[in-house]
Amino acid sequence: MIGIIGFGRFGKLTARYLAEDFEVFVFNRTDKSAEIKKAGARNASLKTVCQQKIVILCVPISTFKEVLVEIGPLLKEGFCGCRCLLGKGLSDPMDESVAA
């Protein structure tokens, strides 16, 4: 099962593609449940999305670190994240405040 956080252009594309072969749960801050269902995914709480085996962040880069800090405590125990560089001003999104 896959969790997606964010349902903008990238989140919609990702959900539509993955829902063809996987059960996909999507959290979005604003209600887009009808669009999520149309994409073949399920609207879910942030906690539910964070409990999936795979969690994909489809949020603006400007909120990426904030979202990582918010979801850190909600992620499944033993969750393995991926370090990545996403542009200027975001040198290490998986810092100590997230990767405990």
Q: What is the pLDDT of residue 76?
A: 80
Q: What is the pLDDT of residue 80?
A: 65
* Global pTM exceeds 0.85: no
Dihedral (CA of 65, 84, 36, 77) sign: negative
Q: What is the pLDDT of residue 43?
A: 98
Give the integer Cα–Cα distance in Å for 87 and 49: 25
Give the integer Cα–Cα distance in Å for 34 and 14: 16
Q: What is the pLDDT of residue 18?
A: 97
Whether 34 has a pLDDT exceeding 60, the answer reads yes
Q: Are 90 and 61 in contact (CB under 8 A)?
A: yes
Q: Are 2 and 24 in contact (CB under 8 A)?
A: yes
Whether 98 has a pLDDT exceeding 70, the answer reads no
Question: Among all chains, which residue has been given the structure tokens 């996909």?
Answer: 24
Give the integer Cα–Cα distance in Å for 96 and 48: 23
**Predicted confidence (pLDDT) per residue in 38-94, tens digit:** 999 999 999 999 999 999 999 998 998 899 889 988 988 777 665 554 444 444 545
Give the integer Cα–Cα distance in Å for 38 and 16: 9
Per CATH, the homologous superfamily of domain 2-62 is: NAD(P)-binding Rossmann-like Domain (3.40.50.720)
